[in-house]
């Protein structure tokens, strides 16, 4: 379970980073510089850049992607605490006995 959780956390990080990069590329490609790249706008026609629709919801999707990755990372910590890597094997015996050693000298 722990390894699967780590893999899922890593995949969230990679996919959210890729989406953030793609969103940045979209913003650059649809920005005011697009007017200079259009062929007819460089000749006799005068072109003006109006506006781009709001990309706030896309920004929020990137933020939620990173928050979800943090959530998976926290989940990985709790899964790690349940593995044998976190606690030594002899602590389970002391938990079953109440954590009090038997009296000596009997």
For 64-75, write each residue's pLDDT tens digit.
999 999 999 999
Q: What is the pLDDT of residue 95?
A: 52
Could you tell me the pLDDT band of residue 84, with boundaries at 50, 70 and 90? confident
- pTM of the full predicted structure? 0.66
Return the DSSP state at 103: P
Q: Is the predicted pLDDT of residue 4 greater than 90, yes or no?
A: yes
Determine which of 3-7, 28-32, 64-68, 98-102 has the lowest per-residue pLDDT on average: 98-102
Instruction: Measure the N-to-C terminal CA separation of the chain; round to a whole number of Å.
Output: 45
Q: What is the pLDDT of residue 99?
A: 61
Contact 28, 88 (CB under 8 A): no
Residues 6 or more apart from 52 whose CB is under 8 A from it?
27, 30, 31
């Amino acid at each position: 379970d722990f390894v699967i959780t780590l893999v899922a956390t890593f995949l969230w990080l990679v996919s959210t980073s890729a989406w953030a990069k793609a969103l940045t590329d979209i913003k650059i490609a649809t920005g005011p510089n697009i007017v200079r790249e259009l062929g007819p706008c460089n000749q006799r026609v005068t072109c003006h850049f109006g506006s781009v629709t709001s990309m706030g919801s896309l920004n929020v999707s990137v933020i939620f992607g990173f928050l979800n990755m943090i959530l998976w990372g926290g989940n990985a910590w709790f899964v790690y605490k349940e593995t044998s890597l976190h606690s030594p094997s002899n602590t389970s015996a002391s938990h079953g006995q109440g954590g009090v050693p038997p009296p000596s000298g009997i």
